Amino acid sequence: MTVTSTRAKPGGILPGRPEPPAPKKRRRNPLPYLLLLPAVLIVLVDMGYPLLRQITMAFQHFSLEQQFGKPAEFVGLDNFTRVLGDSAFWLTLGRSLAFCLVCAALTMAIGIGGALLLTKLSRAVSVFVQAAMLLAWAMPVLSSLQVFQWIFDSRSGVVDWSLAGLGLQGMAGYNWFSNPVTFFAVAAILVIWMSVPLVVFMVYASVTQIDESMLEASTLDGANGWKQFREITVPTIAPVLLLVTILEIIWDLRVFTQIFILQKNGGITEQTNVLGTYVYQVGLSGGDYGVASATALIMLLITLLLTWRYVTQFLKQGEV
């Protein structure tokens, strides 16, 4: 067996390219495939099969009758043309994209800002901020949803009370969930509040890996803070930034639970649907599985389109 030298890599974070592990010369070794088998099998059963099923359904007429045993007939692209011809779908799509981009952009901006801020704080404040981030991060989504509904409650909510106290009398007793604009404002605040801590921790973890002497040298060379940020910090943390951006876009586009539960307050479901809740409504509530499946596939396609550039860049950068 050939042993190529591999440098020992500590479990922590090492910026830059790691050396690939020693390549194994023996051809057709079945061991890696056997090792992968359980993971691949369970993913195929849990997600591969349902996805295939769903793709098939997207090309079938499939509603409650078929659910109870009537054979489903193939209808070609009928479901897709119905979705694409529905103005409610386009409105929902626009809403979802806008919500996703606003949330992802603000989350990244606040998260990066927060991480850089952490490096400038005195020890006590830094510990406090990290503790706050940790607590917010740890909150289960359902717990957060309950407290946010309470904070924005129209009767006893602290937000309405504070705004009224600040002189905005119209805000006393205001129902945030009855108007699409304020509904999404609350949803965005919640989503951003939940997502920022991960970004802060990941970016902070990689910022602290930056070689201090590089920063010192560049200061001696007369580089200012912004220049340092662009030319030293960003390239070093680029892989992490890419990964977080991809994840944020994916997560914010498929947001479901938050919207679904907040919708129970307002009674304006139609005007506050995002893609996830739209699919749920058409499929599970409406019983039109064929159209719902087609919509879900379109949603997957959009996610791929949105993230593809980042994903390929990421795969190139992090040597796989």
Partner 1 sequence: MALKPSPVRRSAANITGLVFGLLWIFPVYWLVNNSLVTDDALQSRTPSFLPLDFTWAHYETVLHDSRFWSALRMSFGVALIVVVAALLFAFFASMALSRFRFKGRKIVIISVLVIQMIPAEAMFISQYKMIDSWHLLNSMLGLSLLYVGASVPFTIWMLKGFVDGVPVELEESAMIDGCSRMGAFFRVTFPLLGSGLVASGIFAFLAAWNEYTLALVLLSSDNSKTLPLWIQGFSGQNQATDWGGIMAGSTLMALPVIILFVIVQKKMAQGLVAGAVKG
CA 184 centroid distance within chain: 16
Characterize the bridge pairing of strands 73-74 and 60-61. Answer: antiparallel
Q: Which residues of 15-36 are buried (b: 16+ CB within 10 A; e: fewer)?
A: eeeeeeeeeeeeeeeeeeeeee
Distance from C-alpha of 118 to C-alpha of 130, rounded to nearest angstrom = 8
Query: Minimum CB separation from partner 1 for residue 206, in Å?
Result: 5
Comparison of 39 and 181: residue with beta carbon closer to partner 1 = 39
Distances (CA, A) of 272 to 188, 238, 282: 12, 35, 14
**55 burial via Cβ count (<10 Å: 0-12, 13-18, 19+):** middle
Residue 211, φ and ψ in degrees, nearest 5: -65, 115
The CB-of-148 to partner 1 minimum distance in angstroms stands at 7
Closer CB to partner 1, 90 or 256, in the complex: 256
User: Per residue in 177-191, is it b (16+ CB within 10 Å) or e — as a string?
Assistant: beeeeebbebbbbbb
Helix (H, G, I), strand (E, B) or coil at 61: strand
Q: How far is the CB of 97 from partner 1 (least distance, A)?
A: 14
Nearest distance in Å: CB 287, partner 1: 10
